[in-house]
Structure 1
Amino acid sequence: MDRIDQNIVRELQKDGRLTNQELALRVGLTPSPCLRRVRQLEEDGVIRGYRAVVDPTKVGRGFEVLVSVEVRRDRETVEAFEDALRELPDVVEAYRLFGSPGCLLRIAVADIDAYERLWIERITALPGVTEVNSQIVMKRIKEPRGLPVGRQAASS
């Protein structure tokens, strides 16, 4: 990826709804080569998709919890746990980690009662779960905007 591709990705991360004309103007290209580059970035898997960023409170999911989960560490159990986890729509992010905890989840539900039901009925019942610890999110300070692209300025 050259500097122009990096700029294209950066601009699309800021606003995925830019028209090709607006994007071309921002990165210093004419529309036709800009579109070719965007399509190539999509074909190469650099750009994997476009999404809407939704306000969780406006869709009844303003109560967020970070949950660390310990799972028995044999391959079959871990695979069964991960397969079952993918079926839970309230789990909006999930990461398998090195060390302890073995898994970190971000869960978004309506309120504490909804989380308690999910915790009792689903999370603790997942295959191989041996421990569940919950941290309620007080305030979201920084939201994910995609990965940084290209060289970053050195910090002083």
Structure 2
Amino acid sequence: MSTPAAPALDSLDLALLQALADHPRVGDLELSRLLSVARATVQGRLRRLGEAGVIRGWSPELSAAAAGFDVAAFVSLEIAQGALDTVRDELLAIPGVVEAFVTTGTSDVLCRIAAASHAGLQGVLLDLNRSTSVVRSTSVMVLSTLIEPRLLPLLATTAAGREARAPAYR
């Protein structure tokens, strides 16, 4: 499965993404006013960013902690050779597993867990360890979030570098 080529983001794309982050429920017309560009420009950019997968959806950003699941942990799993598909299916069946990543290093999979209590977290850990494909698990409790998930600063580095290399004329 090939990954589509990443679009070349420019300062208008970044401004549009920042405006969406700051005002997630804003419409195209208001975005065009905020950015001082034509509505068709906003619509075209949104379509391009959506088709490229930069914008993955329009669903609300959910908070596990605000919804009562304020106990969080990361769990690294060492799994049996060739068991990745089985482990994926097993992880999907455990609601407390909110994310999972295939990794390099001493573990094979890193999971982010959310639970309503320490007892709930223990239940998720027990569910993980019931898997015959999991050889070993190591858990680390989250005490607090230091940096919330963010991508705009990273995206800005590519656009800033591209614009710095662009010719002075336009």
Q: How many equivalent residue pairs? A: 151
How large is the RMSD of aligned CA atoms in angstroms? Answer: 2.2
Residue in structure 1 matching 2:140, options 135, 139, 152: 135
Whether the 8 Å CA contact 1:85–1:126 is kept in 2: the answer is no
Instruction: Tell me what 1:96 maps to.
Output: 102
Instruction: Tell me what 1:113 maps to.
Output: 119
Pair 1:37 & 2:45 matched: yes
Describe the superposition over 1:8-50 as per-residue Cα deviations: whole angstroms up to 9, x where unpaired. Answer: 2333244432221232233331222211221222123221112
Query: Runs of 5+ in structure 1 lacking a partner?
Result: none
Instruction: Tell me what 1:52 maps to.
Output: 60
Partner of 2:12: helix, strand, or coil?
A: helix
TM-score, reference length from structure 1: 0.83
Is 14-23 or 88-97 further displaced after alignment?
14-23
Partner of 1:95: helix, strand, or coil?
A: strand
How far, CA to CA, are the matches of 1:14 and 1:90 in structure 2? 29
Change beyond 3 A, Cα 1:19–1:127: farther
How far, CA to CA, are the matches of 2:111 and 2:22 in structure 1? 25
Query: Runs of 5+ in structure 2 lacking a partner?
Result: 1-7, 162-170
Partner of 1:59: helix, strand, or coil?
A: coil
TM-score, reference length from structure 2: 0.77
Q: CA deviation at 1:132?
A: 1.1
Give the fraction of aligned pairs with identical amino acids, expressed as a percent.
26
Instruction: Tell me what 2:150 maps to.
Output: 145
